[in-house]
Structure 1
Amino acid sequence: MVSFDHLAAGTPEAIWQADDRISSVQPLDLSIKQLIVVAAHPDDETLGAGGLIRWAYENKSAVTVIVATDGEASHPNSPSHTPARLAALRRQEVLSAVRVLAPTARVHFLGLPDGELRENATALAAALLSAIEQLPQSSGESVIVAPWSGDGHRDHRVTADCASRVAQVRGIPHLGYPIWLWHWGRPDDVPWDAGRMLALTSGQRAAKGRALRAHQSQVQSLSEAPGDEPILSASMHAHFERHTELFFVEASKTDGETLAADWFERFYARHADPWGFETRWYEERKRALLMASLPVRNLGRVLEVGCSTGLITAELSARADEVLALDASATAIDTATSRLAERPNVTLRQSAVPEQWPDGDFDTIIFSEVGYYLSHRDLAKTIALIDATMTGDGCLVACHWRHPVDEYPLNGNEVHAALRSVEGWGVIAIHEEQDFVIEVFARRPVVSVAQREGLQ
């Protein structure tokens, strides 16, 4: 990670322009029909890809802008603007800038904490995938552009990693746009061979200039007081007044792998009840809390992801029209089949999610103690599948152990952060303890249990 001071003078634009390599980069492939621009902070989209956004609009390509944070930490010592005020201001600046560049563009605000994207990486990846899965199918090439992974800013690197995972899931190209590179770097720091250049017309440059000025909180002082200085100095601003925009082809990123079915088979082989589901009061109490959190008496059609030996499945079947219970382990399914032999409304199936997702819609989806076995990529894909198959008035009940386990790709806190980030979902109920968390999600507007009963 590069250390730099945004208030320092930085590398003059003249040094960049004096290097022949900046004008001899391979041109950008412009067979783009759907442009997805991801920004770590408000104004990234304009600084790094404002010209490309304008090009896409002029060429009738669909444009979607996804902004991870509200940029509320841009002026941490401001005496005149609270973080909440800055967040609201910067959202409005994005909307104004994008209206200049592409009036028909879709804009999604994820509202993740500024400066804390590393701690919310799973939530960011899931939110990106969810937003992209909702886009209409394009008849041509889709491209994701996001801050460059080598830009030297932690939030930019994390956003690049998440965008790369999502691009890998969707099988679409991923390009990175540099911002702070121009400030701290020198020409020899640039991977020119990975570069792709977009030449801007005078009209595209003019539109980008107007959009940059819309980000007033970044290019002007908030006040005359110390702590309210502009983030983008005149020398920094000069880098984005060029006749070109530079993008880098990003390599695919990998993360911890989803645990395979044979991992669970080995675990069950060591003990018939490896997690103590049958014997521990902790597990019995947790099941009771999970069942009590379900917001309706009749659960309708239920999908249980990760049923293990069927203890929760048995309780679900007493309140459901039908239950489809999945588990990656054949041993677990065999045990559950014996336990549930007298339950005709239960179907058990050995399936590994997200690859073997069932058909149909479900009124209640149980996602208990399974999300942390998935990679970032597979969790994001699973959440998108849940969103696609949960009925309009249905609900998702998620329950997870909160402490990290070395063998698991994720922990429960990361899983629930990803679930909370889904646009369009709200929380009906939450039960949080030191060891585990249970949350019930439904589509907005959320209807409480009292409202369902006509008590409110």
Structure 2
Amino acid sequence: MSDGIKDAPGASGLTPSGDPPTDEARWVEDPRWRDVIPLDLTGTTHLLVVAAHPDDETLGVGGLLAGLPADVDLDVVVATDGQASHPRSPTHTPADLARIRRAEAREVITELAPHARLHLLGLTDGGLADEQDELTAALVRLARPGESVLLAPYRADGHPDHEAAARSAATAAWRTDARLLEYPVWLWHWEGPDALPWGSARRVDLSDEARRRKARAVAGHRSQVEPLSDRPGDEVLLRPDMLAHFARPWETLLVAEPGESSPFEDLHAREEDPWEVRTSWYERRKRALTLAALPQERYAVGVEVGCSVGALAEELLGRCDAVVAVDESAEALGRVEGAERLRTVRASLPEEWGCLEEALGGETVELVVLSEVGYFLSPGRLRELARRVGELVAGSDRATVLACHWRHEIVGWPLTGDEVHGLVGEAMTNVGLQRRSHLLEEDFVLTVWSATGVLRGAALPEQPDV
């Protein structure tokens, strides 16, 4: 445990507000436990556990880990080294504490789950809120899209690092289609039973062996359950009344919803043109290739999904009678240069597809462009978006879908450009669109799918006599 911005909460024996902590008897005697259903992990093949500090995972889900079958892959991510646990220690520097607590974490995880892979990130104890992006990226790299179950501290646990870890986990789960569960730690000590969202609670009953191994693991965090010395500032942090909450014959997890606030709103608020789409040669050349790859000379209505500041949407006007540019950032849309035939729609797709349909008003869409947007979606969300895009254009004999994406790693998201085009291609095949062209360069991939038949909109050139 680590106190972050609070000074030694365990040592004082009081809550952050100065009140006495909640006695364990109040929790275990609450009649609402009778209605808490067991947690069902049937079919789980990969568990990804995140802790803000060494010992959070032991306290919150140590019994679950101890009883986990060896054929369930397990990754445990500890975000910080917990070096701020004793900020006034006269005998141990933060570096000393970091070294000790890393060693304790290795020993304890070996006790709980010998087959686990432990990842010690070494982020800032007490400052995790400022390093959420780094934690999110680590979790996304480890998550297996559509397969992982992610366990994280409770998002309302009352500790700033725990809540930051919860936000990172919710973002990572959203981006990877992972199932998300949260475990309370400080909530048991600082709040009463009415603070628990009982409807979301799931119970994990522990075997006697799992309880014994958890107890040994808790004791293995010696820097937290024993005094560092007999001098002031080296007191025990996890007192017996706190540890009593974790000696129950069950553990509690809370069903949580993945999700994140749009990162692109803040990005566009900070930067006028985040990807330099109007100035960089890479972007200008890529737009020229995009326009050249379109198989029809002219389209009635074109839609660009993820338009950012609108550079491509504006150039699409030269090939379309009307263009609808969609982005989830109002800041970005405010920089799209207005034109009578260019409309903007603020929507997060695919969830807010109805906003796009309303803006179209029943018009026939012949062209959809997905440029540098697909890898900012989870695989599941991308499949849904591609399905809707395919259905949107499929009724036209001029139907065209063009995708263009960067091919290198996008830190914090699971898909590469090549993978995006693979998923989009599956959806296009399902609605009868065929791949017409495919340009593969070191930095980007550009693919066009369209309805079958000859090019329309211009007469084919006559072949010269030979």
Task: Tell me which interval the TM-score lies in, with the shorter structure as reference length.
Answer: 0.5 to 0.7
Equivalent in 304, 308, 326 of residue 277 of structure 2: 308
- Looking at both structures, which has the greater relative contact order when contacts are Cα pairs under 8 Å and sequence separation is at least 6? 1
1:331 aligned to 2:311?
A: yes
Could you say which residue in structure 1 is the equivalent of 2:79? 68
Find the aligned partners of 2:74 and 2:84 in 1 and give their Cα distance: 27
Could you say which residue in structure 1 is the equivalent of 2:110? 99
Find the aligned partners of 2:283 and 2:178 in 1 and give their Cα distance: 42
How many angstroms does 1:84 deviate by? 0.8
1:258 aligned to 2:258?
A: no
The CA deviation string for residues 303-357 of structure 1, in whole angstroms up to 9 with x for no partner, is xx9452454549999xxxxxxxx9966635988xxxxxxxxxxxxx972235388
Task: Give the residue type in structure 2 aligned to 1:331.
Answer: A
Equivalent in 12, 16, 28 of residue 17 of structure 1: 28
Instruction: State whether residues 139 and 172 of structure 2, in contact with CA within 8 Å, keep that contact through their aligned partners in structure 1.
Output: yes
Q: Kindly tell me the number of residue pairs found equivalent between the two proteins.
A: 311
The CA deviation string for residues 33-90 of structure 1, in whole angstroms up to 9 with x for no partner, is 211110000000100010111122x352111100111101000001111111111111
How many angstroms does 1:95 deviate by? 0.8
Find the aligned partners of 1:117 and 1:308 in 2 and give their Cα distance: 32
Could you say which residue in structure 1 is the equivalent of 2:215? 209
Equivalent in 30, 41, 61 of residue 41 of structure 2: 30
Task: Give the residue type in structure 2 aligned to 1:116.
Answer: G
Q: 1:350 to 1:310 in 2, by over 3 A?
A: farther
Find the aligned partners of 1:23 and 1:314 in 2 and give their Cα distance: 60
Equivalent in 51, 63, 87 of residue 51 of structure 1: 63
Could you say which residue in structure 2 is the equivalent of 1:118? 129
How many angstroms does 1:258 deviate by? 2.8
Find the aligned partners of 2:418 and 2:98 in 1 and give their Cα distance: 28
- Say which one has the larger Rg: 2
Task: Give the residue type in structure 2 aligned to 1:162.
Answer: S
Q: 1:85 to 1:108 in 2, by over 3 A?
A: same
How many angstroms does 1:256 deviate by? 2.8
Task: Give the residue type in structure 1 aligned to 2:256.
Answer: E
The CA deviation string for residues 79-123 of structure 1, in whole angstroms up to 9 with x for no partner, is 111111111111111111110111010111111100101111222
How many angstroms does 1:251 deviate by? 2.7
Instruction: State whether residues 137 and 412 of structure 2, in contact with CA within 8 Å, keep that contact through their aligned partners in structure 1.
Output: yes
Could you say which residue in structure 2 is the equivalent of 1:173? 179
> 5 Å matches for 1:141-152?
141-152=147-158
Find the aligned partners of 1:387 and 1:37 in 2 and give their Cα distance: 29
How many angstroms does 1:182 deviate by? 1.2
Instruction: State whether residues 307 and 313 of structure 1, in contact with CA within 8 Å, keep that contact through their aligned partners in structure 2.
Output: no
Instruction: State whether residues 141 and 412 of structure 2, in contact with CA within 8 Å, keep that contact through their aligned partners in structure 1.
Output: yes
Q: 1:310 to 1:245 in 2, by over 3 A?
A: same
Q: 1:158 to 1:330 in 2, by over 3 A?
A: closer
Task: Give the residue type in structure 2 aligned to 1:8.
Answer: G
Instruction: State whether residues 371 and 405 of structure 2, in contact with CA within 8 Å, keep that contact through their aligned partners in structure 1.
Output: no
Could you say which residue in structure 2 is the equivalent of 1:8? 13
Instruction: State whether residues 174 and 258 of structure 2, in contact with CA within 8 Å, keep that contact through their aligned partners in structure 1.
Output: yes
Find the aligned partners of 1:154 and 1:203 in 2 and give their Cα distance: 33
Instruction: State whether residues 146 and 163 of structure 1, in contact with CA within 8 Å, keep that contact through their aligned partners in structure 2.
Output: yes
Task: Give the residue type in structure 1 aligned to 2:172.
Answer: V
Equivalent in 384, 409, 413 of residue 381 of structure 1: 413
Q: Secondary structure at the match of 1:143?
A: strand
Q: 1:184 to 1:333 in 2, by over 3 A?
A: closer
Q: Secondary structure at the match of 1:258?
A: helix
- Identity over aligned residues, as a percent? 38
> 5 Å matches for 1:190-205?
190-205=196-211
Instruction: State whether residues 136 and 168 of structure 2, in contact with CA within 8 Å, keep that contact through their aligned partners in structure 1.
Output: yes
Find the aligned partners of 1:69 and 1:93 in 2 and give their Cα distance: 13
Instruction: State whether residues 79 and 122 of structure 2, in contact with CA within 8 Å, keep that contact through their aligned partners in structure 1.
Output: yes
How many angstroms does 1:124 deviate by? 1.9
The CA deviation string for residues 382-441 of structure 1, in whole angstroms up to 9 with x for no partner, is 7x749999xxxxx99xxxxxxxxxxxxxxxxxxxxxxxxxxxxxxxxxxxxxxxxxxxxx
Find the aligned partners of 2:276 and 2:307 in 1 and give their Cα distance: 6
1:82 aligned to 2:97?
A: no
The CA deviation string for residues 185-215 of structure 1, in whole angstroms up to 9 with x for no partner, is 1112211111000000001001111111111
Find the aligned partners of 1:189 and 1:328 in 2 and give their Cα distance: 41
Could you say which residue in structure 1 is the equivalent of 2:373? 353
How many angstroms does 1:156 deviate by? 0.7
Instruction: State whether residues 308 and 327 of structure 1, in contact with CA within 8 Å, keep that contact through their aligned partners in structure 2.
Output: no
Instruction: State whether residues 405 and 417 of structure 2, in contact with CA within 8 Å, keep that contact through their aligned partners in structure 1.
Output: no
How many angstroms does 1:169 deviate by? 1.3
Q: 1:77 to 1:46 in 2, by over 3 A?
A: same
How many angstroms does 1:17 deviate by? 1.9
How many angstroms does 1:360 deviate by? 9.0
Q: Secondary structure at the match of 1:35?
A: strand
Instruction: State whether residues 34 and 61 of structure 1, in contact with CA within 8 Å, keep that contact through their aligned partners in structure 2.
Output: yes
Find the aligned partners of 2:122 and 2:6 in 1 and give their Cα distance: 26
Find the aligned partners of 1:21 and 1:116 in 2 and give their Cα distance: 36
Could you say which residue in structure 2 is the equivalent of 1:230? 236
Instruction: State whether residues 330 and 350 of structure 1, in contact with CA within 8 Å, keep that contact through their aligned partners in structure 2.
Output: no
Instruction: State whether residues 147 and 178 of structure 1, in contact with CA within 8 Å, keep that contact through their aligned partners in structure 2.
Output: yes
Find the aligned partners of 1:244 and 1:252 in 2 and give their Cα distance: 25
Q: Secondary structure at the match of 1:230?
A: coil
Q: 1:360 to 1:239 in 2, by over 3 A?
A: same
Instruction: State whether residues 52 and 79 of structure 2, in contact with CA within 8 Å, keep that contact through their aligned partners in structure 1.
Output: yes
Find the aligned partners of 1:387 and 1:236 in 2 and give their Cα distance: 50
What RMSD in Å do the two structures reach over aligned CA positions? 3.8
Q: Secondary structure at the match of 2:87?
A: coil
